[in-house]
Amino acid sequence: MYDTILLATDGTVASENAASHAIELAQAHDADLRVVYVVDESVYTAYSGDEYVDGAEGPEHGLEETGEAAIDAVRREAEAAGVDVTGELRHGDPAETVVAHADEVDADLLVLGTRQRPEEYRALLGSVTDRVLRLATRPVIVVKTEAEAEAGA
């Protein structure tokens, strides 16, 4: 049923729970697991100062390090489970980039994690997962994590 599963991660507990679910699905279906972390360009392009002398000191570099660590964590877990896994770091709008990447790799399924939040929070801020759900033309599984579990991490 699934040959290629795409997991979008941001390194949070919610993403870790989604990763475990994606790995189990990949095992059950003998599917390849693709992992993507999107560095949100709006976070570092909004900064226009010249405070950072070395490119490795700026916010973009820190986000890339976080992304590589998140991908590596999923890679280790997947490999330990015997799942073929590849990871990729992308730059752009997270929701749009995840959906575009799913199209590029012809993913049969997208897996994302989300934290359960009060409705008022979601109405005010929204979420990447909500946007992916609206934009995606492929099946999407959302793995929910209680906000308390995230806070306790």
Q: Give phi and psi for 4, each to the nearest 5.
A: -135, 125
Q: Where are the domains of the chain?
A: 4-151
Q: How far apart are CA 67 and CA 43, in angstroms?
A: 14
Dump pLDDT digits (tens) for 9-18: 998 898 999 9
More confident residue, 55 or 86: 86
Dump pLDDT digits (tens) for 89-119: 999 999 999 999 999 999 999 999 987 766 6
Q: How far apart are CA 94 and CA 39, in angstroms?
A: 7
Q: What is the CATH number of domain 4-151?
A: 3.40.50.620
Nearest Cα neighbor of 6 from 73, 91, 71 is: 71
Q: Give phi and psi for 50, each to the nearest 5.
A: -120, 30
The whole model's pTM is what? 0.85
Dump pLDDT digits (tens) for 121-137: 555 445 888 899 999 99
